[in-house]
A and B are shown apart, each in its own frame.
Chain A
């Protein structure tokens, strides 16, 4: 049985990117995203996470290398056709316009000439915001804003979500809520997600991680292999210990207990 085979949605091969006159931001990067996969993209600040997501969504063009979407050159798609396959959400959602939630979610229909398979109402109910449809985005909490835009991508119907630090600035409760929501959506819609992260413990919860440093891939695969102490020291320049919970789940412990330092001071 060829159950292990999953078609690749997005494939990056030897992708490089540099602004003219500057050193490479992304250097010879290759990885692929399969259907239904949840991938954490982990790296320190400035390691190139956002650049990768922007390259992957076609916002930026690579200086060299190839990006294939469903086996076809990403940049050969018409914008509207690509928008039905990939959706990118930037890190900051600082929208100070009094759009209503319903209006924003409905913008997911823009790439379509005929109404897409999922309506704004259904998407809102899936992310649990049905009662806020008429509210203005400016009145919503950070977590609700995220969910609003996730609902927009649902209406957009894209099978691949590229999310730039969606958990940043969210309380732990909303972080977990958002991850649960994305898992639920995957169950129902078989979407794939690539999510930029900088929390190592959060990355350990993913099925696959890409660990990057200065535009290089240090490791790509299951977190237990990729997130070795050696790799983490290399990527983040911190001393850590990988600990195991009784059930075998790994977590990171920092070598320098911060409490001691405080007592000393």
Chain B
């Protein structure tokens, strides 16, 4: 197990480094001139760090959500949490809010994520328990509604600058700069640490609330804490680079296949796996049709889905 975890760390570092140095222009870190240093430090580095952070947040969020909801289809995107975070952030940008300074957008996104999670959870709750089908349908419904509202806001917005400022909401990393990195880093690491510290409770919740209780946990409290960690990570991820699907849903399944189901290793490993995947996706998106750029969300889906479908043919992959 430890060896496998070590391999995931190596894979993450390799993906991060190749995304940083490779691309339409290869940057040799040992022979930097003024131009390449400028590209590396002010364009590539913040962008790749943002990609890695978002991937980490989404991978870990997916692992946590699939566990607390006991549902293999749970992820921040499908449950509408990402679109709720985006809508709240977009409304804040339009309203010109800056109550929390540079933290305004992430705080709004975090609040949007929690509120949406609350709405979806309430709709999926019946007779003292969460009903997986209700929950997913509620999430899909909310997700469609909020995405439509977002597009509506975009299309009626007359201000061209505002429209462009909001494009990132649909998963565009090309506008990343250093400004967003510090809060993204702190919120996402905080979320990963928070969920990892509750990993035993998550294992117990996966077995069911009665089991969790019998093992000495308070199921509702643990679920709420874990959900707040998801809100932190998803909110931060959305405010860094908008909505990106696929990673939260599929990375935990792929990672589980390699290192097993124990949340204590699954959460950090899904974070690393998600980070690696989004770094590679961003590299391919920049390089394949250069100088045109493909959005990372599209690339993750194109490289990830066939691999996932291949894994699906093998047993025990599509399980929480």
Contacts and interface: CB of A to CB of B under 8 A. Distances in A.
B213 A107 contact: no
Contact of B213 (A58, A84, A156): A58
Contacts of A97: 206-207, 261, 319-320
A223 B203 CA distance: 40
B203 A88 contact: no
A90 B219 CA distance: 15
Contacts of A121: none
Interface string A92-124: 000111111001100110110000000000000
A156 B211 CA distance: 12
Interface in B188-238: 200, 203-204, 206-211, 213-218
Interface residues of A, number: 30
Contacts of A95: 206-208
Residue from B211, B218, B315 with most neighbouring chain A CB atoms (10 Å): B211
A98 B319 contact: yes
Residue from B72, B204, B213 with most neighbouring chain A CB atoms (10 Å): B213
Interface in A19-43: none
A99 B262 contact: yes
Contacts of A156: 214-215
A75 B218 CA distance: 13
Contacts of B316: 98, 136, 138
A99 B260 contact: yes
Interface of B is mostly: loop
Contacts of B262: 99, 103
A80 B2 CA distance: 29
22 contacts: A59-B210, A80-B216, A83-B215, A83-B216, A86-B214, A87-B214, A88-B213, A95-B206, A95-B208, A97-B206, A98-B319, A99-B206, A100-B260, A103-B203, A103-B260, A103-B261, A107-B200, A107-B215, A110-B200, A110-B203, A110-B215, A156-B214
Interface of A: 54, 57-59, 79-84, 86-90, 95-100, 103-104, 107-108, 110-111, 136, 138, 156
Given A89-B211, A97-B320, 8 more contacts: A59-B210, A81-B216, A87-B214, A88-B210, A90-B210, A95-B207, A110-B200, A111-B215
